[in-house]
Amino acid sequence: MIRPNGNDLLRAEKKDLLIKISKYASDVIKHKITVDRWTATEISVSTGIPNTRLTELKHFDKYQRPIGEKLLAIAIAGGLMSVDDLIKNVDLNENERRYVEALVIYELPEVRKLIFEILQAGADPVEPLKKYLADLK
């Protein structure tokens, strides 16, 4: 699948990237809980990440279930981590960096609001964007 920025990661490359991001997300969640003294429920409510997935991410080494694209969009929109955080703290190659940079759209306040409205409706926030891109072509 070709991304809007022209970056095309192979499935295996994307899987490797999502594993790297999952390890970083695990560290961020552990820091929020131990240092910032947030509860898992507070993190879940503030970010929009379901509690069960939050636990799986927190204990990524145990569960080995990487973050998916949908949950990554939610994590960025919910403020768990930013694109700058990912670029600074995850060892990325050039293609991965370009892929991550394209995720900046989820940091826009208008997009965040729309993502949370779509989530509250029980839908996938990625699908409307795919449809919009398809309509542009």
pLDDT of residue 23: 98
Q: What is the pTM of this model?
A: 0.80
Q: Please measure the distance between the N-terminal and C-terminal CA atoms of the chain and give it in whole angstroms.
A: 14
pLDDT of residue 81: 96
pLDDT of residue 137: 65
- Total tally of structural domains belonging to the chain: 1
Question: Mean pLDDT, 10 residues at a time, over the chain (137 residues)?
Answer: 60 95 98 96 93 96 94 92 97 94 88 80 78 73
Structure-block tokens of residue 88: 């600074």
Within a domain: 1: no
Within a domain: 114: yes
Structure-block tokens of residue 104: 């900046």
Range of the domain at 49: 11-136
Q: What are phi and psi of 53, to 5 degrees?
A: -70, -35
Within a domain: 4: no
Within a domain: 27: yes
Within a domain: 3: no
Within a domain: 5: no
Helices 51-58 and 40-47 cross at an angle (nearest 10°) of 120
DSSP per position, the chain: ---TTS----HHHHHHHHHHHHHHHHHHHHHHHHTS---HHHHHHHH---HHHHHHHHTHHHH--PPPHHHHHHHHHTTSS-HHHHHHHS---HHHHHHHHGGGGGGSHHHHHHHHHHHHTT--THHHHHHHHHHH-
